[in-house]
Amino acid sequence: MIIGIPKEIKTDEFRVGMTPSGVLELIKAGHNVLIEQNAGVGSGFEDRLYSDAGAIILNTADDIYAGADMILKVKEPIEVEYSRLREGQILFTYLHLAADKALTEVLCAKKITALAYETLRLGRRLPLLEPMSEIAGRMATLFGAVHLGRYNGGSGQLLGGAVGVERNHVVVLGAGVAGKSAADAAAGLGAKVTMLDINLERLTYLRDVMAPNVSMLYSTHDTIVNSIKDADLIVGTVLVAGAKAPKLITRDMLSLMKKGSVLVDVSIDQGGCFETSHATTHSHPTFDVDGIVHYCVANMPGMYPRTSTIALTNATLSYALKIASTPLNVLLKDEIYLGALNTYAGDVTNEAVAIAHGMTYKAVV
């Protein structure tokens, strides 16, 4: 198969779909790899490393899309890339279609076989989401702490405090990979941390492995309301795979919070879990609503592209090899790849995406 890796062009995105090492594995498996000139530079991978691995360097994204059977990316195509997609192509990337009706319609119109990293399941895990969730969770605490700084519009409190000063309170909504990562970072800085989730089994496990300054609560409207009243930093990491994130904090609830506190919405790719959230960029990461600082960067791991690209390749490579080496009629009999499939032959094949946009869902049989 001919696999194309275009340069990522979403604002402030410096990751690339595959490392040179990953490209070498694809080529050793008998595939041809086309990569756009300078696609890996933002992650510290020069063109020479890809050509040494056996990839063909092409000058433009148009050349990549025109020549490839499968497009391997990091982020979902943006509007300027829609016309480059070729009917019948395979697209393997993060898609987050529940928050993007326009892209969903384009993928259907072009009969793209769209496989999303974030909906590929392995048992109860989402293995292609996990590495980016881990990075985003740590970043949520670190950048939340930075934006508590007075010069960034925050309350002026140092996360973790100091000797003789009361510790800050960090609330983490969601106890998955991102939530645990955020809570670990906050606990390590010395904050008082409260995690909320509806999965009691997960909360029980985390109670036994987390630091003693981390407590667990079952998530209800009342426990959220009571927790945010004295919170300095709130990190939202809730995820319903493939679907829009539920709005756990409404605009009215902001009035309950302390002025200068910070909301970090890690769920923003799926529409955000705060009613007042809207996507921001690394260049302009925050905005203020009613005295509450919102940090809602839609590609948080893009801040650290070297680490993120290597971690992502480690997770996606084996699946990319399988997709490239297996006829679709065989591949789509495997529940793992059916779970990743979001559009196929002109239809929406992920029920949560169809519900989000009021579109017709069609199962692949």
Q: What is the reported pLDDT for 365?
A: 79
Q: At residue 138, does pLDDT exceed 90?
A: yes
- In this predicted structure, the answer to whether residue 295 has a pLDDT above a threshold of 80 is yes
CB count within 10 Å of CB 329 equals 8
96 counts as catalytic: yes
pLDDT of residue 243: 83
User: CATH homologous superfamily for 2-126+307-357?
Assistant: NAD(P)-binding Rossmann-like Domain (3.40.50.720)
Among the options 197, 265, 269, 294, which is catalytic? 269
pLDDT tens profile 6-48: 999 999 999 999 999 999 999 999 999 999 999 999 999 999 9
Whether 244 shows a pLDDT value over 90: the answer reads: no
pLDDT exceeding 90 applies to what percent of the chain? 95
Residue keyed to tokens 């198969």: 1
Residues 6+ apart with CB under 8 A from 71: 3, 4, 5, 6, 64, 65, 85, 89, 90, 91, 92, 93
Q: What is the mean pLDDT of residues 130-156?
A: 96
Domain ranges for the chain: 2-126+307-357, 130-298
Catalytic site residue 278? no
Query: What is the pLDDT averaged over residues 224-237?
Result: 97
Question: Active site residue: 31, 63, 96, 184, which one?
Answer: 96
pLDDT tens digits for 186-203?
A: 999 999 999 999 999 999
What average pLDDT is seen over the chain?
96
Domain covering 130-298 assigned CATH 3.40.50.2300 in the classification: no
Residue 1's pLDDT is: 97
Q: What is the pLDDT of residues 52-85, one digit of tens each?
A: 999 999 999 999 999 999 999 999 999 999 999 9
Residue in 59, 53, 9 with CA at minimum distance from that of residue 33: 53
The reply to whether domains 2-126+307-357 and 130-298 share a CATH topology is yes
Q: What is the pLDDT of residue 239?
A: 86
> pLDDT tier at 171 (50, 70, 90 boundaries)?
very high
**Contact at 8 Å (CB) between 169 and 175?**
no
Handedness of CA 197, 199, 200, 203 (dihedral sign): negative
Residues whose CB is less than 8 angstroms from the CB of residue 24 and which lie 6 or more positions away in sequence, other chains included: 53, 54
Q: Is residue 13 within 8 Å of residue 75, measured between CB atoms?
A: yes
Tokens of 254: 């902001």
Instruction: Give pLDDT, residue 179.
Output: 97
**242: pLDDT strictly greater than 80:** no
> Is residue 99 within 8 Å of 244, Cβ to Cβ?
yes
Euclidean distance between CA atoms 360 and 354, whole angstroms: 6
Identify each DSSP E strand in 60-144 by its residue range: 70-72, 90-93, 113-116
Phi/psi for 227 (5° steps) reads -75, -35
